[in-house]
Amino acid sequence: MVVEQLAQGTVLVEAGEETDSVYFPHRGMLSLLAVLKDGRAIETATVGREGVVGAMAGLGVHISHVRVVVQLQAEVTKIPASRFRKATGDSAILRTLCIGYNEILLSQARINVACNAVHVIEARFYRWLLQTADTAGNDTIHLTQQFLAEMLGVRRTSVTEVARKVQDTGAIHYSRGEIQILDRQILERLSCECYATLFEQSKGMR
């Protein structure tokens, strides 16, 4: 068991690889990305200090179906999957927690898929800002436009346009890869319904 500091953009697990480590974030945020054949990727779920990446490895050898990337600079405790499997093998409670948390991630992914399919980019952007701030526990978010575009599954030019519109509302200040939330009430009012759904879900994990 070791504690590691992880830089933004670090790939912890690649889609199709065996999960050989389990990560428990203490701060920061990790993104789970679905990867398409053409190389494009879109965020399906996020993990912060309330969660774990690789929990299903505790129930047996596990092949990841997503790419796991450090979205916000993070500090994590890293445990070998083999050691985690031994711990879950000795504890029915831990096995139940692993299964339960996997269901939570699947539910988050379903909500995000529906959100990406039916909601306009502005509403998704508001939802994503609020969700990220909640998970990171900080209203200042350090992200480049390129990284934002990958998370939302849109072109970088779309992010530039949307960020400008959001800033015009007075809800955020955006400059040089830093987003500072100034008025959460505006973001909550303009966000799609998915933020409230995800927020209620996350309260059960804290």
43 token code pair:
């965020």
Asked if pLDDT for residue 206 goes beyond 70, the answer is no
| Rounded-to-integer distance, Cα 141 and Cα 177, Å | 8
pLDDT, greater one: 172 or 147: 172
3-state helix, strand, coil in the chain (%, to 5): 45, 30, 25
What pLDDT, in 10s, does the model give residues 80-127? 999 999 999 999 999 999 999 999 899 989 998 898 889 988 898 899
Q: Are strands 67-80 and 2-6 parallel, antiparallel or unpaired?
A: antiparallel
What is the overall mean pLDDT for the chain?
Answer: 88
Q: What is the DSSP letter of 24?
A: E
For the chain, domain boundaries: 2-116, 120-203
- Cα–Cα distances in Å, from 194 out to 12, 51, 131, 171? 27, 19, 10, 19
Average pLDDT, integer, range 183-194: 92
What pLDDT, in 10s, does the model give residues 28-53? 999 999 888 888 888 888 999 889 99
pLDDT, greater one: 71 or 203: 71
Q: Which residues contact 119 (CB under 8 A, 6 or more apart)?
A: 127, 192, 194
pLDDT band at 202 (very low <50, low <70, confident <90, very high): low
Average pLDDT, integer, range 168-195: 89
| Rounded-to-integer distance, Cα 103 and Cα 26, Å | 21
Q: DSSP H helical segments within 2-78, as ranges?
A: none
Q: Just give the CATH number of 120-203.
A: 1.10.10.10
Using a 10 angstrom Cβ sphere, with 0-12 exposed, 13-18 middle and 19 or more buried, the burial of residue 66 is buried
pLDDT band at 17 (very low <50, low <70, confident <90, very high): very high
Q: What is the DSSP letter of 103?
A: H
CATH topology of domain 2-116: Jelly Rolls (2.60.120)
Calculate what percentage of the chain has a pLDDT beyond 70: 98
| Rounded-to-integer distance, Cα 76 and Cα 94, Å | 19
pLDDT of residue 203: 63
Average pLDDT, integer, range 133-143: 86
Q: What is the DSSP letter of 138?
A: -
- Cα–Cα distances in Å, from 198 out to 10, 38, 89, 145? 25, 29, 31, 24
pLDDT of residue 147: 77
pLDDT of residue 166: 85
pLDDT band at 205 (very low <50, low <70, confident <90, very high): low
pTM of the entire predicted model:
0.85
